[in-house]
Amino acid sequence: QVQLQESGPGLVKPSETLSLTCAVSGYSISSGYYWGWIRQPPGKGLEWIGSIYHSGSTYYNPSLKSRVTISVDTSKNQFSLKLSSVTAADTAVYYCARQQGDILTGYFSPDDAFDIWGQGTMVTVSS
């Protein structure tokens, strides 16, 4: 079955760039679906960061857009998140997830629900 696994540093210094990767197993990213990043600060709710299609088309949260880059590497079957100029407010559990689509019709949309999630990785911004 499809599995997602986040990886990256658990501690990032203020003003530096947070970099995370989501490795996908059990499915080839190049075959379809939107793939997204979501974060959750301690004790708070979910915040969408952005989504990417296998072709590289992206959508970003307007509140983070100036600092976010999401990219896909089909050769490694993974997608990545970069968040620049981080502050303590960026401390959160970061999740990667797949957005369900219709594999039979080949219809995929950024408004699809997140049906498969990674376990999440905690990133702390601190000096």
Partner 1 sequence: SYVLTQPPSVSVAPGQTARITCGGNNIGSKSVHWYQQKPGQAPVLVVYDDSDRPSGIPERFSGSNSGNTATLTISRVEAGDEADYYCQVWDSSSDHLVFGTGTKVTVL
Between the two ends of the chain, the Cα-to-Cα distance in Å is 39
Regarding beta strands 92-99 and 34-40, do their DSSP bridges make them parallel or antiparallel, or are they unpaired? antiparallel
Are 87 and 125 contacting, i.e. CB atoms less than 8 angstroms apart? Answer: yes
Q: How many CB atoms lie within 10 A of CB 109?
A: 12
Write down the least CB distance from residue 113 to partner 1, Å: 4
Residue 27 binds partner 1 (CB under 8 A)? no
Q: Is 25 in the site for partner 1 (CB under 8 A)?
A: no
Residue 87 three-state SS: coil
| Closer residue to partner 1, CB minimum distance, 16 or 100 | 100
Q: Which of 11, 46, 88, 103 lies at the binding interface for partner 1 (CB under 8 A)?
A: 46
42 binds partner 1 (CB under 8 A): no
- Four-CA torsion 49, 53, 4, 47, nearest 10 degrees: 10
**Stretch 58-97: interaction string toward partner 1, x if CB under 8 A:** -xxxxx-------------------------------x--
Among 35, 53, 79, 114, binds partner 1 (CB under 8 A): 114
Give dist(CA 53, CA 31) in Å, integer: 10
Tokens of 53: 């299609």
Question: In the bound complex, what is the minimum distance in angstroms from residue 116's beta carbon to partner 1?
Answer: 8
Question: Which residues of the shown chain bind partner 1 in the complex (CB under 8 A)?
Answer: 36, 38, 45-48, 51, 59-63, 95, 100, 109-115, 117-120
